């Protein structure tokens, strides 16, 4: 839910509306009845999608917003169990939940680590993806094999690979530590030490995210005309100059999109954190989404109000980020 909405709003803000909106708007306003009569079939075709989106995105969103303004928890929501019908007794509390979240240390502390996690993951995946894409864009022996192998982490379902990593990381019986002890080194507390656990979760997320970056950037590289490089070579530009002045500008449109997407995904990367550490040790690797999940599913009584509050705040943060990012890009003269 939170993943889709900001990107949609970005797409909408991106100029589509400005360019085409008015024309389309006046057209339908002129003769709504006739439009319905002639286009009923189109409406009927669109209807299922609209209904499904309203049910699976719209309703939870509105409901989440509403719950964040109440003190709803497990004990006061309505529930029907067999013959017992227990009515809802929660109350409207206005913006209290937001004040609590924004003035308490827990939200801000978690936000701090979430930002560190997002920035380091996106930076590392982008850098690695760029390097690998450049390597694989050359004519090297076995190129297609390498491409296949590097896409593999992407092809495996996320939870499967995260579980595999969890086994590798296990301090007592994991393969990584067995290899280390074979080399005569001490065991590393991969997931048991707070700082080490932070590195470990970032490493797994980078491993998972590189294929996407690589494929997207490889596509971008292939769309750069080869003549540019030839011309640059004729002018005596060295490899670094060619990369700096042709490759990077040529990848601009692709990289802005993948960085935005990757930021939103990483910010809300639930499975990696939840399945590897459950936010532990203690709360060392807890990011905003896993903590919001914890509020509404792991603690008791389950705190639905606080969980929704965090959810809404995550959404707002990502929307602000997307708007800001887009503005910076436009200032730099990007048409996107």
Partner 1 sequence: MRRGIAATALVAALGVTLAACGGSDGGSNGGSKGSGELSGTVTWWDTSTVGSEDKVFKKIAEDFTKKHPKVTVKYVNVPFGEAQNKFKNAAQAGSGAPDVMRSEVAWTPEFADLGYLAPLDGTPALKNQEDFLEQAAASTKYKGKTYAVPQVIDSMGIFYNKKILKEAGVEAPASIADLKTAAAKIKEKTGKTGLYLRGDDPYWFLSFLYGEGGDLVDADKKTVTIDSEAGVKAMKTVKDLVDSKAAITDATNGWDNMQASFKDGKVAMMINGPWAVADTYTGKEFADKANLGIAPVPAGSAGQGSPQGGHNLAVYAGSKNLDASYAFTEYMSSPEVQAQIAKELSLLPTRQSVYLQKEVVTNPMIAFFKPVIDKAVERPWIPETGSLFAPLGVEYTKVLTGQTTPEQGAKAVGDNYRKLLKDWK
Q: Where do contacts with partner 1 occur on this chain (CB under 8 A)?
A: 41, 44-45, 48, 74-75, 77, 79-84, 86, 166, 170-173, 191-194, 197, 277-278, 280-284, 297-302
Distance from C-alpha of 26 to C-alpha of 20, rounded to nearest angstrom: 11
Closest distance of CB 1 from partner 1, Å: 19
**Closer residue to partner 1, CB minimum distance, 263 or 306:** 306
Q: Tell me, what DSSP letter sits at residue 174?
A: -
End-to-end CA distance of the chain: 24
Q: Is 213 left (phi over 0), alpha (psi -120 to 50) or beta?
A: alpha
Q: Which two tokens stand for residue 210?
A: 């590189």
**Closer residue to partner 1, CB minimum distance, 252 or 278:** 278
**Closer residue to partner 1, CB minimum distance, 90 or 154:** 90
**Closer residue to partner 1, CB minimum distance, 86 or 328:** 86
User: Is the distance from CB of 292 to CB of 101 less than 8 angstroms?
Assistant: no
Closest distance of CB 242 from partner 1, Å: 47
**Closer residue to partner 1, CB minimum distance, 48 or 236:** 48
Closest distance of CB 178 from partner 1, Å: 13
Q: How far is CA 59 from CA 7, 51, 62, 69, 76, in A?
A: 19, 10, 5, 16, 21
The helix-helix angle for 175-182 and 158-169 (nearest 10°) equals: 40
Closest distance of CB 116 from partner 1, Å: 16
Closest distance of CB 299 from partner 1, Å: 5
């Amino acid at each position: 839910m939170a993943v889709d909405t900001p990107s949609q709003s970005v797409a909408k803000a991106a100029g589509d509306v400005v360019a085409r909106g008015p024309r389309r708007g006046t057209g339908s306003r002129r003769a709504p009845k006739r439009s319905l009569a002639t286009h009923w079939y189109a409406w009927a075709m669109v209807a299922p999608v609209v209904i499904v989106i309203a049910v699976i995105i719209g309703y939870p969103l509105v409901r989440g917003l509403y719950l964040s303004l109440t003190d709803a928890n497990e004990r006061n929501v309505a529930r029907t169990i067999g013959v017992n019908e227990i009515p809802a007794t929660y109350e409207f509390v206005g913006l209290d939940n937001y004040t609590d979240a924004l003035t308490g240390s827990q939200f801000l502390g978690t936000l701090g680590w979430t930002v560190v996690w997002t920035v380091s993951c996106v930076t590392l995946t982008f850098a690695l993806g760029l390097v690998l894409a450049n390597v694989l864009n050359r004519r090297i022996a076995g190129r297609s094999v390498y491409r296949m192998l590097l896409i593999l982490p992407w092809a495996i379902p996320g939870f499967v690979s995260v579980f595999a990593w969890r086994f590798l990381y296990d301090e007592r019986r994991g393969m990584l530590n067995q290899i280390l002890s074979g080399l005569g080194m001490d065991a590393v507390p991969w997931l048991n030490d707070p700082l080490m656990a932070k590195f470990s979760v970032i490493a797994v997320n980078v491993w998972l995210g590189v294929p996407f970056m690589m494929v997207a950037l490889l596509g971008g590289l292939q769309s750069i005309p080869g003549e540019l490089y030839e011309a640059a070579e004729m002018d005596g530009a060295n490899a670094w100059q060619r990369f700096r002045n042709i490759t990077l500008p040529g990848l601009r449109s692709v990289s802005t999109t993948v960085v935005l997407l990757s930021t939103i995904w990483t910010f809300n990367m639930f499975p990696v954190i939840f399945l590897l550490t459950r936010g532990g040790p203690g709360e060392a690797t807890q990011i905003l989404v896993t903590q919001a999940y914890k509020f509404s599913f792991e603690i008791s009584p389950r705190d639905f109000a606080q969980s929704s509050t965090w959810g809404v705040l995550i959404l707002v943060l990502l929307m602000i980020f997307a708007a800001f990012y887009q503005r910076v890009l436009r200032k730099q003269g990007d048409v996107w």
